[in-house]
Amino acid sequence: MSTDITDAVELTGSSVAPYSPENPAPVIEPPRARTKRTPRSSRTNFEMYGWLFMRLSGVVLVVLVIGHLLIQLVLDGGVQKVGFAFVAGRWASPFWQYWDLAMLWLAMLHGGNGLRTVINDYAEQANTRVWLKTLLFTAVAFTIVLGSLVIFTFDPNIR
């Protein structure tokens, strides 16, 4: 551990002492710092709210998803019991309808924002990023709309 730090300092080829609170490293300008030339339209806190959303939705999803896994995969015979009749029984209660609705929206938005980050990290060309994010947005919107409709238009007497 300590040798690692020594090596890292030697790599700089400088003879000054290692950085410390008394001898702080030089401040590096953030690559996306806002300047006067930054367009007004991008001067929002979108990324900060995205960051905050990942943490808030994450905490709620831990409860919703682990509860879902317990019900579907562990309790009362595990996945073997799941079928149309089981779904009908659970969605007869508004509590489980809203549980599943909250899980659907939060998980899709949490996962969608996560994949947006992954695309921004690995797709190097601006064109590729636009297309991948358009595809992602379409898939997320489609899944949220479809899932919400299925939960609230469910008909136990469909046949």
**Which residue, 11 or 27, is less far from another protein as judged by CB?**
11
* Residue 133: HSE in the Cβ half-sphere, 13 Å Cα cutoff: 17
Rounded Cα–Cα distance for residues 92 and 154 (Å): 9
- Residue 36 per-residue DSSP state: T
- Asked if residue 87 lies in contact with residue 130, where contact means CB atoms within 8 angstroms, the answer is no
Closer by beta carbon to another protein, 74 or else 130: 74
Nearest-angstrom CA–CA distance, 23 and 115: 39
Q: Does 150 bind another protein (CB under 8 A)?
A: yes
Residue 104 engages another protein in binding (rule: CB under 8 A): yes
Q: Using an 8 Å Cβ cutoff, are 40 and 33 in contact?
A: no
Asked if 135 is part of the footprint of another protein (rule: CB under 8 A), the reply reads no
Under the criterion CB under 8 A, does residue 7 sit at the interface with another protein?
yes
* Shortest Å distance, C-beta 44 to another protein: 21
d(CA 153, CA 159): 14
Which chain residues interact with another protein by CB under 8 A?
4, 7-8, 10-11, 55, 58-59, 61-62, 65-66, 69, 73-74, 78-80, 82-85, 87, 104, 107-108, 111-112, 114-115, 118, 139, 143, 146-147, 149-150, 153-155, 158-159
